[in-house]
Structures are given as structure tokens and as C-alpha cells.
Structure 1
Amino acid sequence: MPKKYALAPCNGMSPNGLVSRVATGDCKKENENVISICMGSTSADIEGTNDEMLKKFPIISICGCQGNCVTKILENRGIDIYKTINVEEILKDEKVSAKDPFRLDNESEQCVEIIKKELNKIVTE
């Protein structure tokens, strides 16, 4: 049985935040050893109700921009992060970019595929 991973996508209102969430959803659909974390719930959980679950699996933080909010939120809760990927950083040398925080066009879908490929490398190693 492969190791199970938890993906923590950016919930920011940026084009790369959307790319992060869609790539996470696609990766989860394609890999039965992947779960996803709701960062809104994690941020709002001031009682620490979810902390035990957050420590159960290696977490891959998927940040949309250089703000690295996902990583900061998890670290501020005392949660260890297995790996962080930054969508903005990965896409900076690509010939495609996402432009709309609410809809995916063809170019945004290409961004999703690039990020999903990065995620799949990690969850299948």
C-alpha cells in the first residue's frame, strides 16, 4: 500500500490559487493515496479540532504565490510540512499563465497540468 499524502492547496483569490485547487482535485481523483485539506477549515479551527488529522499524513503545501500562506498557516498551527510547492515559482519559466481567479481557460488548464505533474511526482515516489 502506498504512503498516503495530504494536499493543502492555496485558497487565495488569485489565478494561481485556482490552479492550485484544480490541480489538487485532479491529483486526488487520480491517486487513491491522496486526500485534500480545506485550508479555510484549518484556518478557522481555533480549538485545534483538526490538528490530530493534520498530523496523520505527510502534508504537501501548495502555495499560489510568494506569500506562501498555506505553509504559514500550517506552521503557525505547529503542523509539520513534508514538502512545499509554489505555483508561481513553477510557472515562472513556462510559456503559459493563469489570468482569471474564477475561471480556467485553455492556458490555465495547461498550468493545471504542469502543477498536477509536479504533485504526481511527489505522491508516486
Structure 2
Amino acid sequence: MNNNDKVAIMPCAGIGQIFGQITREVGYNLVDDLYPENTVLVCPPALAVDIQEDIDFINEYPVLVLNGCKDRCATKLILQKGGQVEAEVYLPDILKKEKISLKDEKRGKLGEKSKLAIQKMTEDASMLVKNLLNR
């Protein structure tokens, strides 16, 4: 049963892709900087191999998913592990809305366009965290 004193943040794994790096940075912004007392970060690899702490996170708290691409693997993993997605921020929607192109951006050294995408995605995700906490 979900309680609303915290929100579980589930970034996309996106290993080897810039999308995963961006969603992870957004997750860190939310958990480490903006809402350290009210969020927990779900680790996709840990959840995939049934680490109990991450299973508990998705069962105890409302889940905000940060999906990086059309595959929406973060959502799929939450559902596969028996969790429920309460809210989602979808990076391609942010890129389209803000007219940001990630062409030529590298995941190893994030450029200005990636940093702008992180900022905008963090803003959208932050509003959703506030809504989930205030239910």
C-alpha cells in the first residue's frame, strides 16, 4: 500500500545512451538536492534482480518514472515487478516542447543542450513530486 510521505523516483537505465544519463541526473537532482527528505531513488539494475530495498520502494511509495525513450523501459520494469506508476516524465516530450535537439551531445561529457534538457525535465518532475506528496 502506497503512503505519500515519500515518492520513489525511477529513472531510465539507458546504459550507453545519453537519455539514461539525462534521466539519472534528473533523479539525482530530485533526490539529492530538491527533496532529500521526501524521495528515494530506485536503482533499475537492483530492481531488475529483485533487491528487496528497491522492491519495497515501489510498493510503499507512489512511483514517478523518468522515461528516456519510446521503449519506456523504466515503466515496463516497474510494472513487471508488481509496482504501479503514479506519474511519468517522458524526455522526448520535454525535448519537443522545449525545441531541444540532442544531436552531437555525448553522454560522457554532457553539453549545454543536455544540461538544458536536465533542467527542464527536473522542473516538470519537481511539480509532479509536489503533487504526489500533497495527495
Q: In which range does the TM-score fall when normalised by the shorter chain?
A: 0.7 to 0.9
- What TM-score results when the alignment is normalised by the length of structure 1? 0.87
Q: Tell me the equivalent position of 1:110.
A: 116
Q: Which residue of 2 aligns with 1:17?
A: 20
Give the number of aligned pairs.
122
3-state secondary structure, aligned to 1:114? helix
Greater helix proportion? 2
What per-residue deviation string (whole Å, max 9, x for no partner) do you get for residues 22-59 of structure 1? 011011121131111100111122xx634233201101
Identity level (%): 22
TM-score normalised by structure 2 residue count: 0.82
Q: Is the 8 A contact 2:8 2:57 kept in 1?
A: no
Q: Runs (4+) of structure 1 moved beyond 3 Å?
A: none
Match of residue 71 from structure 2: 67
Alpha-carbon separation, structure 1, partners of 2:129 and 2:26:
13
Per the alignment, in what secondary structure is the counterpart of residue 120 of structure 1? helix
Gaps of 5+ in 2: none
- 2-structure distance, mates of 1:36, 1:49: 14
Could you tell me which residue of structure 2 aligns to residue 8 of structure 1?
A: 10
Please tell me whether the aligned partners of residues 42 and 57 of structure 2 are also in contact (alpha carbons under 8 angstroms): no
Contact 1:97 1:107 in 2 (8 A): yes
Following superposition of structure 1 onto structure 2, how do residues 39-118 of structure 1 map, counting pairs within 5 Å?
39-45=44-50, 49-50=52-53, 51-98=55-102, 99-118=105-124
Which ranges of structure 1 fall in alignment gaps of 5 or more residues?
A: none
Contact between 1:26 and 1:116, CA under 8 Å: does it hold in 2?
yes
